[in-house]
Amino acid sequence: MKQQYSLSHRMQGMSGNVVREILKLTQAPDIISFAGGLPSPDSFPVDELRSITAELFAQDVGFLQYGVTEGLPGLREFAARWVGDFNIQAKPENVLVLSGSQQGIDLACKALINPGDVILVEQPTYLAALQIFKTYEANVVAVAGDEAGMLPDALADAIHKYKPRLVYVIPTFQNPSGICWSLERRQALSQAAAEHDFIILEDDPYGRLRYSGAPVPAIAGVDGLRRSIYLGSFSKVIAPGLRVGYAVAPPELLQPMIIGKQGTDVHTSNLSQQIIMRYAQKGGFEQHLPRVRAQYGEKCRLMLEMLEKTFPAGSTWTKPQGGLFLWVTLDEGVSTTALLEQAIAAKVAFIPGTPFSASGGCTNCMRLNFSNASPADIEIGIERIAQVIKQSLA
């Protein structure tokens, strides 16, 4: 018999990450999976990372000792400079190196959220963030949006009604939708934060993966880093297994996150930080990013073309200018959760929309990842999903 343990209030009613559960189902080698959020393994700069690691072990192995919580000074300096590309004026003291940007979501909540506090999120939003918000016993409220970001009226209503403490957004090539907020919507959110005294948590793991269109400043750039915490990540631009990201924030917001991190993991792996810092110093990103952008941009175009060719009338989808995902909306009444079972039987997988919704909506939506499958598999896999949808409508 299974043992029953008495869990904390915060863990009661918590289920595992649905995407991780679905991913287990899609591991079979003959399934074409658009389910994960994985960068393509052939995008990893393996040779460069191997030689940097060999160099590190051949020299001073000080990285094997404990390090400081804030992160390696050289990496903080690099991140402070790098975010300048998104109009964020930061100093190394504004940077906290993280064990993946996801840790930043957790630390921001640790620093700012009391049980019952309201966090506004996009509809849909990143489901692992929803899971973190639940563990801090926050009251999460979804705000309606379109292809340019949260709708101004819906945002104003939600602010008025709920007096949020935090607004969590992924404004650049959002997970799961792939949309990119317009400059006007970014400015409006920053203005609202100042007027209504809330903090913006801007999550940006995909900003450097732009395939078309003109760059837009980060909200933290528009905001002058006054009421925002910006999260960046090296996961999608080198390799997620290194587990390195960074938070950029005003010192008064960064300090409680540093204290929170001391209790969580003391500091991010020195070896991973050294590898990334040296990679950056050698100009690795200047070489690597154009290659990755070309590869993913091509796959994105191919997936859009296949959707156009094969999906039934009545389906719509976002047309991302970057990132890893696009978001399909089917006829109302179609349940993508029910479709997934048939899709897996047809050897193809996606993530249904519901887990990305804080309000239980998005039942007729699905997220498709275009970075991980090969071009040939994109053609075959999209055709298979189209067949499954058409059969369900027949």
Ligand X SMILES: Cc1ncc(COP(=O)(O)O)c(C=O)c1O
Closer residue to ligand X, CB minimum distance, 242 or 334: 242
CA 273, CA 74: separation in Å to the nearest integer? 9
Q: Which two tokens stand for residue 223?
A: 């905001």
* Residue 386 C-beta: closest distance to ligand X, Å: 26
Closer residue to ligand X, CB minimum distance, 279 or 311: 279
Closer residue to ligand X, CB minimum distance, 258 or 380: 258
* Residue 96 C-beta: closest distance to ligand X, Å: 13
Closer residue to ligand X, CB minimum distance, 268 or 336: 268
CA 231, CA 201: separation in Å to the nearest integer? 8
Q: Which two tokens stand for residue 238?
A: 């080198």
CA 143, CA 358: separation in Å to the nearest integer? 9
Closer residue to ligand X, CB minimum distance, 37 or 297: 37
* Residue 314 C-beta: closest distance to ligand X, Å: 28
* Residue 23 C-beta: closest distance to ligand X, Å: 12
Q: Which two tokens stand for residue 12?
A: 């009661």
Closer residue to ligand X, CB minimum distance, 33 or 102: 102
Closer residue to ligand X, CB minimum distance, 186 or 384: 186
Residue 24 vs residues 17, 29, 33, 388: alpha-carbon distances, Å: 11, 12, 11, 21
* Residue 38 C-beta: closest distance to ligand X, Å: 9
CA 372, CA 197: separation in Å to the nearest integer? 40
At residue 106's C-alpha, the angle toward residues 100 and 110, to 5°, is 140
Closer residue to ligand X, CB minimum distance, 210 or 384: 210
**Cβ(17)–Cβ(128) under 8 Å?**
yes
- Alpha-helix runs per DSSP H in the chain: 18-25, 46-58, 73-82, 101-112, 127-135, 152-162, 183-196, 219-222, 251-264, 270-281, 284-310, 336-345, 375-393
Q: Which of 37, 38, 32 is nearest to 374 (CA)?
A: 32
- Alpha-helix runs per DSSP H in 197-250: 219-222
* Residue 325 C-beta: closest distance to ligand X, Å: 8
CA 256, CA 271: separation in Å to the nearest integer? 25
Closer residue to ligand X, CB minimum distance, 113 or 170: 170
CA 8, CA 10: separation in Å to the nearest integer? 5
State the residue for tokens 């917001």.
253
* Residue 206 C-beta: closest distance to ligand X, Å: 7
The residue with its CB nearest to ligand X is 100
Q: What separation, in Å, do the N-terminal and C-terminal C-alpha atoms of the chain show?
A: 45
Q: Which residues contact ligand X by CB under 6 A?
A: 37, 100-102, 126, 170, 175, 203, 205, 233, 235, 240, 245
Strand 118-122 and strand 139-143: pairing?
Answer: parallel
CA 355, CA 343: separation in Å to the nearest integer? 18
* Residue 233 C-beta: closest distance to ligand X, Å: 3
Closer residue to ligand X, CB minimum distance, 203 or 223: 203
* Residue 83 C-beta: closest distance to ligand X, Å: 15
How is residue 322 annotated by DSSP?
B
**Cβ(156)–Cβ(188) under 8 Å?**
no
Closer residue to ligand X, CB minimum distance, 198 or 206: 206
* Residue 20 C-beta: closest distance to ligand X, Å: 11
* Residue 246 C-beta: closest distance to ligand X, Å: 9
State the residue for tokens 């700069």.
45
